[in-house]
Amino acid sequence: MTPTAAKPRRGRPPKDSGGVLSRERILREALALVDEEGIEAVSMRKLARRLGVDPMSLYNHIDSKDALLDGIAEVLLSRLPAPSPAADLRDSMDTMAREFRATMLEHPRAAPLVLTRKLASLTALTPLEAVLSPLLAAGYPPDLAVHALRTVLAYLIGTLMREVNVAPTFSVANPEASRRRLADLEASGLPAVMSAAPYLAVCDHEQEFEFGLRILIDTLATMAAQPH
C-alpha cells in the first residue's frame, strides 16, 4: 500500500516560505494589511496567517498589538527624508510638508496611526527634527522654534485628518453631499455664512493645502527675518 501524506491540522498555518521572520518583515506585512483592510482589521492571528507562521512566533519580535500599531507608524515616519542643511527655511518647510503629506496620502488607512497616536520611539522624533532643524538654522531661538514646530504640526495633522476622512469635510468628489450642504448653508439665516455658502459647501483638499502652506511658510520666513 502506498503511504498517503498526513493531512495538516485545520487552522494550523503553513510553514513560513517567505524568508526569515523579522520585525521589519512583520511590520511591512502589517502595513500592507492596514492598506487593504483598515486598522480595525489588524490582529496578530490574521497577520500570522498572511506571513504563514504561528501567531505566537510574532511575539518574539513584537510585544503586543499596540506595539505593532506603533511599529506601523514608525515605518511610515522612517520614509520621510532627512532635512537638507543647505536648504533655506522656505525650501526646507515646503519640501518637508509635501513629503509628509505624500507619505500619509500614499497610505490613507494607516495615516491615523501617525496623526493620532502618541509614539515614544526615536523614529517618532523624525518630524520634529525635520521642522526644528531649518527653524534653528534660520535664526529662531529654541523657545520660538518649538512654538513654530507645534504650529506646523497642528496645520499638517489638521489638514491631513480631513484628507484621510478622519475628520468631517465636504469633498468636491461628492457633489450630491455638496448640494445638500449648500442648501443647508443658504437656509441658515446667517449673513456671512450665506454669502460664502458656495465655497463652504465644498472642499478641494489640494487648494486648501496649498493656501494654508503658503500662509504658514510666508509667516515663518517673515518672523525669521525679525530680531529675536
The structure's pTM equals 0.83
- What backbone torsions phi and psi does residue 53 show, to the nearest 5 degrees? -130, 170
pLDDT value for 171: 60
Crossing angle of helices 44-51/65-78, nearest 10°?
60
Question: Domains in the chain, ordered, with CATH?
Answer: 23-76 (1.10.10.60), 85-224 (1.10.357.10)
Other Cβ atoms less than 10 A from the Cβ of 31: the count is 20
Per-residue pLDDT of the chain (228 residues; tens, 9 = 90+): 444 444 443 443 444 445 689 999 999 999 999 999 999 999 999 999 999 999 999 999 999 999 999 999 999 999 888 877 767 999 999 999 999 999 999 999 999 999 998 887 888 888 899 999 999 999 999 999 999 999 999 999 999 998 987 555 566 667 788 889 999 999 999 999 999 999 999 888 999 999 999 999 999 999 998 887
Contact 25, 71 (CB under 8 A): no
pLDDT value for 15: 44
pLDDT value for 168: 55
